[in-house]
Amino acid sequence: MAEDALATTANVPWWWVAALAGAFTILGVLLTLTTNLLVARSKNKLDDYRRFEPDIIGIYIQFDQFVDTIHNNAGGDPEEEKRIYWDTYRATVKNVTRLQLIASQQVVEIAREFQHLMWRFAPGFPDADHPMPELVDTLQELRQVLRRELRIPE
């Protein structure tokens, strides 16, 4: 009976234990590095977004002012109206381009839609094609997305 209770060792080469320990060590290091890289990447992304937060909010405020400008830019001197429109549209294009560099894809898509709707207010388009309700809706959609992404409470 005593002979049956003795432990036996497996027939493996002497270096097998060291190789197995080394493999698990390398696997642990790779797992730790991957986890750290993913956490650092998301943290850097959030830090970058926070760094540009004032710029993004400023662009939203400019878009809101552009809607007011377009809405109130009627009934005056046609040449002055054209100048105001083109100044506003150029600023819209500039802001959309800036958002492409600093904002999320969802914000950029909404801003592009805003730019497209602003284009339809260009001098020469029929008044029936002026999409003021859609422009305001797009601005509100942008506001909601920015509040969610910037974690601004309602």
Query: Is 4 domain-assigned?
Result: no
Count of structural domains, the chain: 2
3-state secondary structure of 130: coil
This prediction has a pTM of: 0.69
The rounded distance, in Å, linking the Cα atoms of 132 and 120 is: 10
Angle, to 10 degrees, between the axis of helix 105-119 and the axis of helix 78-102?
A: 170
pLDDT band at 151 (very low <50, low <70, confident <90, very high): confident
Express each pLDDT in 93-135 by its tens digit.
999 999 999 988 999 999 999 999 999 888 877 766 778 899 9
Q: Please check whether residues 82 and 144 belong to one and the same domain.
A: yes
Residue 22 near residue 62, CB atoms below 8 Å: no
Q: Which of 106, 100, 95, 86 is nearest to 63 (CA)?
A: 95
pLDDT attached to residue 30: 96
Q: Please check whether residues 23 and 61 belong to one and the same domain.
A: no
Domain housing 114: 52-149
